[in-house]
A and B are shown apart, each in its own frame.
Chain A
Amino acid sequence: MTTRERQRLEAAPQDRDRLTRDLLRPVLHTSPRIYLTMMALGAFVLAGLVAFVYQAYWGMGVSGLNRPVFWGFYITNFVFWIGISHAGTLISAILRLANARWRRPVTRCAEAITVFALVIGASFPIIHLGRPWLFFWLIPYPSERGIWPNFRSPLLWDFCAITTYLTGSLAFLLLPIIPDWATLRDRAIGWRKKLYRVLALGWRGTPREWHRLEMAMRIMAVVIIPVAVSVHTIVSWDFAMVPVPMWHSTVFGPYFVAGAIFSGIAALIIAMALLRKILHLEEYLKPIHFDHLGKLLLVMSLLWVYFIVAERLTVWYGNATPEVAVLLATQRGKFLPLFWTMVCCNFLIPFPILAIKRLRTITGTVIASSTIVVGMWLERFLIVVPSLEFKYLPFSWGNYRPSWVEITITLATFAAMPLLYLLFVKFVPIISMWELKGGEHPEPAAAAELAPGHEASDPWEGTLPSAGS
């Protein structure tokens, strides 16, 4: 036994213990401030529920929707949240396949966003229904009505795609939690122990289990990427399938997917920064993570500009009257303030922050992400509403202004996201413990020629808490 080995032997358990302890602390200990935050968020969610029940009771008329603007805030939120859901699974899957090691502290964080954003997003098509209690008529089942749903409707595609994506994302999130639940099972006491015992499914950590888990995750990563792309493409097709000026566009699929990833990464950065602060995970979520994600965000911001130009230039040059009416209404007409705010939020502000290395700090990326989240919400709004206000026959043009019900429900979902997230981190370690620990080990090939200085040359150096720091 070499000295080095002995040193390691002595240091390691402590170090590992600390990692586990750090990551389990948020799960096992909850400060009163967290409870207060949860209650505040819960109050918003409750207000949203009340508003929804009010709307279901009296009718959609309590919203600001009208003819011809039959879709407004709700569908904007739907598209926005489904977009946010692209933060996680897609990014995590890509990074997994690319074997990017810096992903390890980030993946679960991201995947959780996906699941919650999907649930919130998918609730909007139901919230916006004229008869929400009949939402299950969208589901194909042998019903007493003697009729099945219409698979030619993009809404049915939506239903299929979201179901698939939610199933996949849940699996993608939950499968790697099983070993961490096993750890919790061993650590927790009382009712939590019983709960985690069930959740851990009897996981031990045999080579067979590890192998199957890793294989499953590899398959899921391959499958989930095309599903994620299809989901937002299909969301875009809700618009692109119908002959509405500026909706009926072939660019909508990739445009929506790019926008989704864009807003998703922004949401992920914000979530990570918050977790870092609130759960004291400074040693695990490091500036380098924000830097890498910031670079991704930069690419997406440029991509977003590319799509905006591709969409608008084509319409402008083509000069089809109904389309140009919508185009000009957004750029110069009544939507001018919103449109240029969106451009600032999605490009003019974040671009320099993300492009200049010195500004691509945690604070910098969070500022950029915050404007992007606002900008992307506005983008969704500017896709949904102006086209409806300025549809073909000028005699039937209209106006839209949201009512308090819509605003309340929208705010409620923005509260629901952190609430669900907080609840989640109270049940699951938000950083995958086993993956993080696995990252500590050098790759087998490297282990054989483990040499001093190798670690320093590792490009991902510093992504893990170093011993004794």
Chain B
Amino acid sequence: APALAQGTKLKVGALRFTSHSPSFIALERGYFAEAGLDVELEFFQAAQPMAVAIASGDVDYAMTAISGGLVNLADKGAIKVIGGALSEEPGIDGQKILASDAAFQEGVTAPGALDGRRFGMTTAGSSFHYMGSKMAKAEGIDMTFVPLQKVPAIIGALKTGQIDAWSIVPHIAKPVASGPEVHMIGSVVDYLPDYQVTTIFTSTENAGDRALTEGYLGAVTRGISDYNSAMIDRAGGEAGVDAMVDLIHKYVYTDRERERAAPSIINGTMRINEGATLNVASVRDQLEWFQSEGLVDAGISLDQLIDGSFVETVGS
């Protein structure tokens, strides 16, 4: 992107999750610098404040699941979705549906048996709410959704059998289900085969700056390619995985030794859309679901939410 002045300052929001690896890679391997961007990572504890930080201009680009809050901010003209990241894809280990031991003992060994039971979520309008709803609809069952604000509270409630089920990304699902208190009973991908889990988004203002956004996306897509090829296609063999784990470990599970962190990093591997392709069909489905639940204004159009002009889109 030659249009960019060298050393354009940029803040990229991230969570300390493996799914944010493309940003780490692009930074570590100098892809941002090559695009003329001087990137600083800004870490968050949760996705919701990241969306607000984009709106307030504290952060320029970030990656997170589509939530009611994000849609509302888009409605206020503050942010735009400009690309896709994590996707559910048949055949690849994706998000898991978990059940508590108590429910499991009572026969909840598959999602279809969750009729009348309690499903955990952070807040109304979160991706957990969406996944649970779609699953319930597909199974033709009714569930109560219990808002618990934070992931730890959900885990606590699940382990003690106070909620019956939950869905979550594999690198959290696997360690949680490794104990006797929680069981894995299904995969989200079975209900939402092409679910666009996370998206790349930015402020409306940045989306108007084509050179900047293209520069950013260009660098991130290189990170995505590196990640997919090393971790999923194993193009570099074990050595490639090791090198990538080393790189990611600088940002994720930093408080554990590398030996203990590596399995968790590898466990968390999910495919990220090559070229940040955006599955518009999935996004539309999510938007319509939010609207049908009354969580966002029914008048919001897809165009207010996404700017599909930067990346390849499917399903539009």
Real binding pair: no
B positions within 8 Å CB-CB of A:
none
A positions within 8 Å CB-CB of B:
none
